[in-house]
Structure 1
Amino acid sequence: MKRVKRSKKGDERNVNDPFMNLPNDMIIKILMTLPPKSIARLRFASKHLSLIILDKEFIQWYMNRSSTQPRYLISLHRRGDMKMQRFQSLPQDRPYNHVKVSYKMDPNLPYVFTPPVRGLICGRDGTKMKVGNPSTGQFVSLPRVKTRRQDILSVFGYEPVNDVYKVLCMTVVSKRSNMTRSGNVVSWEDIVSEEHQVITLGAKEKWRMVECKYPHRHYSGYEGIYKDGFMYYLACYKKKRSLMSFDLSSEDFNVIKLPEDKMLQQFGELVDHVGKITIANQTYNRNVDLWVLEDANKEVWSKFVLVPPVLTNMYGMRRCDIELIGILGTGKMIFATLSSRNPFFFFCCDPKSKKVREIVIRGIGEDYYDTIQVFFDHVESCMVL
């Protein structure tokens, strides 16, 4: 093997690098106390620091530490004269301690984001997509989705086997008429998703078509979620509402039947309830039905009913009608009001103790046209894209 000569300039940089004189353990200990945005900037201060910060082992250590301190993540797309995309991170135990990171995206494109996965987040507007780290404000553009159709579902996830992130996109053929050439009426259930595409984040990223053996149609306006190497989303399969799963390793689809419940076949959204895939449905009497997937292979479900609190005298309102918007990893339920957004606030309810805590987010919600998304159990990452 041919020996590689070391550059004298490189040696000079190492000699002048003050961090070379510090033990790595001490440097890592200091870095672990810093916010992700500061760590991302420090990689330019020293070559030695950069090697540590970009090391996968350090990134995993930082993520393991952050996972013990989950946070709320709020996405705000501000229109008007000050068009921007801003992320606001709040500790769940100290929600008044805000960390704001602003990022200038395409000013006229209100990106809709999927739930964050291991500190990263994916946003889409039409066929344009971005993936980024909201804790550092660094975003990169993905190639455009290969389609001219508008009805698109995108789900973001992580494949632990190869340590890579992937995005799944599906589209639906937009038909101008619901009549076939033979004159038969085509129902909504007969129209299926097409163009199943996957992209792996990396240097040579591009969209790849993948095969799906189960003709189905995803539900527009519903979010998919990621859990333990699988993506899940609700869809219509054989004219019944079903739960679809996508294995990020094998890139195979699968169908999970839902219980024969009339309300479940019409309503409900996917949530992660104490580590289990759950369909939450807030019924007409305000109670919340939780259908928990106990065993995906055997299609075993269990049902729980939660009664939300009645909130009164909040911001001058005699009664607050609230809706479920998420569940924390601890099992605590997050509710938001149906009307008021100035100031923007939501409620954290403990179903066991029945205690309710109000969480007010200052500085957002003043403009009615602001697009606000709230994510739960966000884990901060120092990963540089």
Structure 2
Amino acid sequence: MKKRGRKSKKPEEKRDEYDPSSILPLELKIEILMKSPPKSIAKLGFVSNHWSSIIRSQVFTDLYMRRSLAQPRLLFSVYRPNMQMQFFHSCSQEDPSSDHRSVSYTLNPDLRYSFSPPIGGLIFGQNNTKAMIGNPSTGQFVPLPRIKTQRKHIFSIFGYDPVNDLYKVLCMTVRTLRGPHYFRWEDPMWEEPMTEEHQVFTLGPKQKWRMLECKYLHRHHSGSQGICRDGVMYYLASFNDKRSLMSFDLSSEEFHVTKLPEDYILQQFGNMVDHSGKIAIVSQAYSGPMDLWVLEDASKEEWSKVAALVPSIDTYRCMH
């Protein structure tokens, strides 16, 4: 059965005798919303069913998303343990002094969430099996169902699927991290235990985690955060005793493996970044230049190398 593409439908205009604004043309209402700050939009959605239907419509969502992407902002997150508060401050890249907003979120004093970089205006926070998705512009945070696992060590990535217009969370769990009593001579010391459970959560009406199968038995590298780009999640892992780049297609929900360049420093100390819209891995030893390996073509496993001269760690040690 073929899946039909989603079309943006205009929200039905229903007159509300108790809401004078209902007589305004739909185009004018959308224009008013587009010029309103995020907090005002969120409040309108709560106090009026009429405005809520417009705000939740695909037409307004698409317009608001396009405008937001055309005006990128910087997001700062500050945690204050003495107040059990998580503060979020966003500002314009062009004029940070005048165009800025701040919101706060009250946390459970026994829980401290680690938040991922924003994607499409939303952020993902996690503390072991507890997780949430929030909008730092409006201060709205929604708790997700508990992650289905008895294990304590969890690695999650938050991303957006542009094909199906869905936000998803990929979660991987392991039995236990290696401690001082775990050692085998044939294993490299940096390797992590095998990732044994794979789950995915789709933001929507069906609030549940779904188990996935992965045919690649690998170890995710817990020291590096994942990155989502163009509907694909990327993270560093060990596969067949070699460090590799794992990818997860959010549309097909399939895993893939990409070989890393044969570089000793990259294999040991590489970390992933987004470089001009492409996935890249930074590689630097304690001295010498910093190498940036850019993934040019994942299907052909083609990488390009960019060298950048930066001070060595010894230089920073001499600074006071």
- Normalising by structure 1, we get a TM-score of 0.72
Task: Identify the residue that residue 296 of structure 1 maps to in structure 2.
Answer: 298
Cα distance between partner residues in 1 of 2:90 and 2:64:
16
Contact 1:195 1:209 in 2 (8 A): yes
Matched, 1:44 2:56: no
RMSD over aligned Cα, in angstroms?
2.5
Residue 286 of structure 1: CA displacement?
Answer: 7.0
Cα distance between partner residues in 2 of 1:298 and 1:283:
27
| Equivalent of 1:213 in 195, 212, 215 | 215
Structure 2 SS opposite 1:106: coil
Contact 1:123 1:131 in 2 (8 A): yes
1:54-203 aligned at under 5 Å gives the runs 54-80=56-82, 82-97=83-98, 98-174=100-176, 178=182, 187=187, 189=191, 191-203=193-205
Cα distance between partner residues in 2 of 1:226 and 1:241:
19
| Equivalent of 1:238 in 240, 255, 262 | 240
One-letter amino acid of the counterpart of residue 205, structure 1:
Q
Structure 2 SS opposite 1:259: coil
Structure 1 SS opposite 2:299: coil
Name the CA shift for 1:111/1:286 in 2 (closer, same or farther; >3 Å).
farther
Deviations 1:294-329 (A, max 9, x none): 00000000011234599xxxxxxxxx959xxxxxxx
**Identical residues among aligned pairs (%):** 56
Contact 1:218 1:234 in 2 (8 A): yes
Task: Identify the residue that residue 4 of structure 1 maps to in structure 2.
Answer: none
| Equivalent of 1:265 in 248, 264, 267 | 267
Cα distance between partner residues in 2 of 1:220 and 1:190:
8
Contact 2:130 2:146 in 1 (8 A): yes
Contact 1:242 1:255 in 2 (8 A): yes
One-letter amino acid of the counterpart of residue 150, structure 1:
K
Structure 1 SS opposite 2:68: helix
Contact 2:155 2:171 in 1 (8 A): yes
Task: Identify the residue that residue 8 of structure 2 maps to in structure 1.
Answer: none
Cα distance between partner residues in 2 of 1:96 and 1:190:
44
One-letter amino acid of the counterpart of residue 178, structure 1:
Y
Structure 1 SS opposite 2:196: strand
Cα distance between partner residues in 2 of 1:243 and 1:72:
28
Structure 2 SS opposite 1:66: helix
One-letter amino acid of the counterpart of residue 86, structure 2:
Q
Cα distance between partner residues in 1 of 2:238 and 2:65:
36
| Equivalent of 2:32 in 30, 33, 46 | 30
One-letter amino acid of the counterpart of residue 22, structure 1:
L
Cα distance between partner residues in 2 of 1:199 and 1:47:
28
Residue 226 of structure 1: CA displacement?
Answer: 0.5
Cα distance between partner residues in 1 of 2:316 and 2:39:
38
Cα distance between partner residues in 2 of 1:268 and 1:94:
34
Contact 1:190 1:239 in 2 (8 A): no
Q: 5+ residue gaps in structure 2? A: 1-13
One-letter amino acid of the counterpart of residue 129, structure 1:
A
One-letter amino acid of the counterpart of residue 112, structure 1:
S
Cα distance between partner residues in 2 of 1:48 and 1:71:
30
Structure 2 SS opposite 1:221: coil
One-letter amino acid of the counterpart of residue 21, structure 1:
I
1:249-260 aligned at under 5 Å gives the runs 249-260=251-262
One-letter amino acid of the counterpart of residue 40, structure 1:
A
- Alignment size in residue pairs: 299
Cα distance between partner residues in 2 of 1:111 and 1:147:
18
One-letter amino acid of the counterpart of residue 56, structure 2:
L
Residue 282 of structure 1: CA displacement?
Answer: 4.2
- Normalising by structure 2, we get a TM-score of 0.86
Structure 1 SS opposite 2:52: helix
Deviations 1:231-250 (A, max 9, x none): 10000111111100001112
Deviations 1:78-109 (A, max 9, x none): 101x1111111011112224310111122232
Cα distance between partner residues in 2 of 1:43 and 1:142:
21
Deviations 1:196-218 (A, max 9, x none): 11111122221111111111101
Task: Identify the residue that residue 10 of structure 2 maps to in structure 1.
Answer: none
